[in-house]
């Protein structure tokens, strides 16, 4: 039995009052007026990340959960589509097996878009029949984000079949509709899709909230939307949830959903509104088995020193003390390392952006990367040509971007990109949403080839070719997405590589996270897949060189 007397945040009643909480057999037996001295701190329900791809932490689910619990997170609504794009159903099964036995709740969904589009090469395909079969698995609980928003709007046969399979089973359907508003939004969400985590302006969030869409405010490592969206919490408090979507290991070590709550409160959002977005709303929407400090609930509790700081003192799941003083009390566990990455070599001659025959100059389409955003801008730039190719120009922040199919031999796809700020060297990664081919950005072809080749030879990972010509690599042996090392070790290695990238001139806060999203075709405006430059607004290929 556990008896705790603290201020207790009751997210159902909307009160913060001194209470004595009694826990027996892992459940809340009673919550009564304080019957003794009130100890310091505030007891709040366990927190929920309402949309996350665990693979982006570069940690397998067990290790991700150990770090998240230190910050008071007791559950995550998790879409395993990253590993599903690499390994298919076997990848989903790996994620389920990895978390088995943990007190943490990983509420996994069925990936709806593997691959995300038909315009790129992935390691697997989950068609409508596969999705329907997976939705019958008792360990999978919802249809994960429908990224093919044009298919949903225009009635694509496979998309409609997947949506119908979820509707028929009465399961929630997650959305993904960046910049989709007005009539297009009404058509998209009219298909039974009920959430969206892709809003990047307040007006967009308002447009979707007016349709009754649940807005998951995202603050990840690359996409940081809280500052733009927090007023929606005041206007539509009952529709809001909180999520990280894609958080790299260094950010996960520093904090999780607790940090978002503290920032919202600092902006003037009522503490109860912020807490409900991180507890009651996702629990009710997804049917999570988590408690909210009501008699009969599972005893999922977090003691924080104050609501303003949300610094976690202790955390319990089902009455089990899982974290204390920033230390996880659940022991680590070894992980299997399933993978799929073809062996091969990349040379500078493989990474050529072709110019028009005989041209001395050409007009190229340029992707413009934006710090803190998944969306990109676009430019057209007049560039010189040499020997039938276009070279990068670091003095103008014009770098080469390349994507190489990691599943089958194929020519590299090339484009120019601005925003990475590289004066020299190159970055490369096998974390390239969502198909996870090999992506790289470089100040010259030779450096780019060496960095991308290092990732291939490691069968997945992150790499930096520095000013001294050496290559640093963080291996990711689990599907080229996750490490089998402890979280602290992975975070330290990731921070070293990020610092090396910034030493090359990059101004980006998370250069590797930003790089990984330059291949995500379903996010406007211009992106580069393994088959070519893609216009995410027209949803069609575009020529990298115009004339």
Token pair 């075709």 is at which residue? 521
Helix runs in 394-485, H state only: 445-457
For every one of its 547 residues, what pLDDT tens digit does the chain have, with 9 covering 90 and above?
999 999 999 999 999 999 999 999 999 999 999 998 999 999 999 999 999 999 999 999 999 999 999 999 999 999 999 999 999 999 999 999 999 999 999 999 999 999 988 899 999 999 999 999 999 999 999 999 999 999 999 999 999 999 999 999 999 999 999 999 999 999 999 999 999 999 999 999 999 999 999 999 999 877 899 999 999 999 999 999 999 998 899 999 999 999 999 999 999 999 999 999 999 999 999 999 999 999 999 999 999 999 999 999 999 999 999 999 999 999 999 999 999 998 689 999 999 999 998 889 999 999 999 998 888 999 999 999 988 999 999 999 999 999 999 999 999 999 999 999 999 999 999 999 989 999 999 999 999 999 999 999 999 999 999 989 999 999 999 999 999 999 999 999 999 999 999 999 999 998 998 999 999 998 899 999 999 999 988 889 999 998 7
CATH architecture type of domain 2-328: Alpha-Beta Barrel (3.20)
The pLDDT value given to residue 372: 80
Phi and psi at residue 174, to the nearest 5°: -85, 145
Whole-number Å distance between alpha carbons of 187 and 46: 35
Q: Tell me the sheet residues that pair with 540.
A: 535
- Do residues 493 and 503 make contact, with C-beta atoms less than 8 angstroms apart? no
Whole-number Å distance between alpha carbons of 88 and 82: 9
Measured between alpha carbons, how far is residue 175 from residues 145, 269, 296, 308, 422 in Å?
5, 25, 32, 31, 35
Could you state, in order of their start, the residue ranges of all structural domains in the chain?
2-328, 348-541
The SS3 assignment for 175 reads strand
* Tokens representing residue 90 in the block: 């076997």
Whole-number Å distance between alpha carbons of 319 and 103: 10
The pLDDT value given to residue 343: 66
Residues 6+ apart with CB under 8 A from 380: 363, 364, 365, 366, 546
Whole-number Å distance between alpha carbons of 374 and 378: 13
The torsion of the CA quartet 432, 437, 438, 442, rounded to 10 degrees, works out to -60
Pairing status of strand 361-368 against strand 353-354: unpaired
Whole-number Å distance between alpha carbons of 265 and 160: 40
């Amino acid at each position: 039995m556990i008896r705790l007397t603290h201020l207790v945040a009751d997210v159902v009643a909307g009160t913060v009052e001194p209470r004595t909480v009694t826990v027996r057999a892992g459940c809340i037996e009673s919550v009564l007026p304080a019957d003794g001295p009130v100890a310091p701190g505030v007891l709040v329900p366990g927190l929920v990340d309402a949309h996350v791809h665990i693979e982006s932490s570069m940690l397998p689910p067990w290790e991700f959960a150990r770090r998240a619990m230190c910050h008071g997170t007791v559950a995550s609504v998790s879409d395993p589509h990253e590993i599903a794009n690499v390994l298919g159903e076997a990848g989903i099964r790996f994620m389920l097996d990895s978390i088995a036995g943990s007190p943490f709740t990983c509420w996994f969904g069925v990936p709806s878009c593997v691959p995300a589009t038909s315009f790129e090469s992935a390691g697997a395909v989950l068609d409508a029949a596969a999705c329907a079969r997976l939705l019958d698995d008792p360990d999978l609980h919802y249809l994960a984000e429908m990224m093919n928003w044009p298919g949903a709007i225009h009635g694509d046969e496979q998309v409609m079949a997947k949506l119908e399979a979820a509707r028929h089973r009465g399961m929630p359907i997650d959305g993904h509709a960046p910049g989709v508003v007005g009539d297009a939004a009404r058509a998209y969400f009219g298909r039974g899709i009920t959430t969206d985590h892709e809003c990047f302006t307040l007006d967009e969030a308002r447009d979707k909230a007016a349709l009754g869409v649940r807005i998951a405010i995202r603050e990840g490592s690359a996409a940081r939307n809280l500052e733009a969206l927090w007023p929606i919490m005041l206007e539509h408090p009952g529709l809001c949830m909180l999520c990280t979507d894609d958080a790299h290991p260094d950010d996960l070590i520093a904090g999780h959903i607790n940090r978002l709550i503290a920032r919202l409160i600092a902006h003037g959002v009522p503490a109860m509104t912020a807490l409900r977005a991180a507890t009651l709303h996702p629990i009710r929407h997804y049917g999570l088995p988590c408690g909210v400090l009501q008699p009969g609930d599972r005893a999922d509790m977090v003691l924080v020193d104050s609501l303003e700081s949300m610094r976690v003192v202790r955390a319990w799941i089902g009455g089990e003390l899982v974290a204390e003083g920033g230390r996880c009390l659940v022991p680590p566990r070894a992980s299997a390392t399933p993978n799929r990455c073809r062996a091969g070599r990349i040379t500078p001659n493989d990474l050529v952006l072709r110019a028009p025959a005989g041209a001395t100059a050409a007009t190229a389409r340029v992707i413009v990367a934006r710090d803190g955003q998944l969306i990109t801008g676009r430019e057209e730039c007049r560039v010189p040509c040499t020997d039938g190719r276009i070279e990068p120009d670091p003095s103008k922040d014009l770098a080469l971007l390349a994507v190489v199919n990691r599943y089958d031999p194929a020519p590299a796809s090339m484009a120019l990109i601005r925003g990475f700020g590289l004066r020299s060297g190159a970055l490369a990664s096998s974390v390239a949403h969502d198909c996870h081919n090999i992506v790289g950005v470089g100040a010259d072809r030779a450096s780019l080839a060496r960095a991308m080749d290092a990732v291939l030879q490691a069968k997945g990972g992150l790499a930096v070719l520095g000013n001294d010509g050496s290559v640093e690599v963080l291996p990711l042996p689990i599907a080229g997405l996750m490490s089998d090392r402890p979280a602290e070790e992975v975070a330290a290695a990731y921070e070293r590589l990020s610092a090396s990238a910034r030493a090359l001139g990059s101004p980006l806060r998370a250069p590797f996270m930003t790089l990984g999203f330059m291949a995500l075709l379903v996010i406007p405006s211009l992106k580069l897949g393994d088959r070519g430059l893609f216009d995410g607004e027209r949803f069609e290929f575009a020529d990298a060189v115009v004339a």
